[in-house]
Structure 1
C-alpha cells in the first residue's frame, strides 16, 4: 500500500504513504490517488479533501528510478500516470487542502500547486529541484509556478533548485498559513470542516471561476462570474441560504 485514504466526517483524507522513499511519486501511488479522487468527485458525502504525507516529507517529487525506466509498449508511461494524477487533482471540483508536513519538491511542489489552499508546518520546505537532476518539469513546475509566486521568485526556484521555508513561501503567496508542526493535521481538519459547512455548489462554481479568471480579460471573467450567478439563482442552495438567513438558522445545503 502506498496510499492511506479515510473519511473524517465530511472530509476525505489522502495520505501519501511511502515514508522510506520520502513519498516520492511512483506509478502505484499516483494511480491510487487518481482513482480515489475520481471516486470522491461525485460522492455527496465528501465536501472537502486534505492531502498530506506520512513521515518527514510531503512528497520529494517523482520516483527517479521509475522515471528512468523505459516505457512498456501498450501501457501508459510514467509521465502519463503522474500528469494524469496532477490534472485530476487540479480539476477536482471540491476544495482540496494541501497539508505540507515536510519536504515538497519537484513533483511534490507541483502537487501542492494543484491544491486550492496550502497549510504548511513550520519545518516544511518547498522548492522545484528539477534542475538539480537535469530533469524538466512536466506537471506545472515551469508553467504554474510563475502564476503562484512572483516571476523572479519562480525563476530563482526553477534555475537554482533551491528550497524555501514555509514562512518564505507564505510571504510569496504560495502558502496560506504556517502552523506549528504538531498542529498541522488538526488545523487542516478544522479548515476542511469549515469548508464543509458551505454550499458545495457555491464552492464548485467559485473554484471554476477563479481557476479560469487568470486566462481571461477582466471583462470576460466578469461575464463568466455573472453567468455562474444566473445559473446559481435557480439552485436549492441559494434559496436555502437566503431562507436560513431570514429565519436566523443554519442553512442545510444540498449541493444542488
Structure 2
C-alpha cells in the first residue's frame, strides 16, 4: 500500500528516447526553488552528464508557471545558511549543465522571476508562451542576483540594458524578452508544447558533439582574443572531424540525402 500523503518529488526527471526532461514540480509555490528541488536538480544533471545517450535536455515547470524564484520561506527562516544550502547544489548543477554537449531547451510559461529568469538565461534555446511575465526581481528583496544572471544577462542584452533590468526590478512581457534577445520564440500558449517538441526533436537528432563544441566556442568567445578564438576553433573542428557524425555529414552531402546523425 502506498502512502497517499507522501509529498510529490520537487523535480521530475524523465528520459524518453534521447530526450531528458527536467520538470520543476512545486506548482502550489509556482515552482519556487527550495533545497530539495536544488538537490534534485544537481542529482538529475549529474545523471544526464554521465549518460551519453542524452542528446537534448528540456527544462520546464509544472502548473501555472516556469519558476517564481527562490523559496522565500527557506530564506526567511535562515537567510544566510538557507541561501548557501539552496545555491550550492543549484549552482553546481547549473555549471555541470553548461558543460554537456546536448542542447538545453527551456520551455517557459506563466511566470519566470528571480532564479526562474536567471535559469532560462542559461539555456541554449528558449521558447516562451504569450502572456508570460518576467522579472529579475532580486533588487525588490534587497539582494543581488544568482544562478548566473550576472554572467548571462550582460552578454545577451548589453551592460546598459542588463543594469536597467537588474536595478529597476520591473516586470516585462514575453514580447519584451523577444525584442531584447532573451528568448528565441514566443508562441501562443496552446502551441507551446508542440513548438517545443518540434525543436527538441530536431536538436536531439543532430550532431551532438558538434553542438557541444559550438556552444563552448560561442560562450567562451568574449574571454578570448581573436587569435585565441581562432586556435580554439581549429582544435574544435579537428575534434569534430574525427567523429562518425562528421563522416556521415560529408557522405550525406555527396549523396544528396539528409544526414542521419548518431551523436557520436
TM-score (norm 1): 0.92
CA distance in 1, matches of 2:262, 2:202: 16
CA distance in 1, matches of 2:15, 2:136: 31
Q: Who is 1:238 aligned against?
A: 246
What are the within-5 Å matches in structure 2 for residues 65-214 of structure 1?
65-70=73-78, 77-214=85-222
CA distance in 1, matches of 2:262, 2:34: 37
Where structure 2 has 5 or more consecutive residues not aligned to the other structure, the ranges are 1-8
Conservation of the 8 A alpha-carbon contact between 1:3 and 1:33: yes
Q: Who is 2:15 aligned against?
A: 7
Q: Who is 1:252 aligned against?
A: 260
Structure 2 counterpart SS, 1:167: helix
Q: Which runs of 4+ in 1 moved over 6 A?
A: none
Q: Does 1:225 align with 2:230?
A: no
CA distance in 1, matches of 2:149, 2:113: 10
CA distance in 1, matches of 2:97, 2:113: 17
Aligned-residue RMSD, C-alpha: 1.9
Distance 1:8 1:180, change over 3 A: farther
TM-score (norm 2): 0.89
Number of aligned residue pairs: give it: 254
**1:211-255 superposed Cα distances (whole Å, 9 cap, x missing partner):** 111211222212211111122222221112111222233433333
Conservation of the 8 A alpha-carbon contact between 2:41 and 2:90: no
What's the CA shift for 1:135?
Answer: 1.8
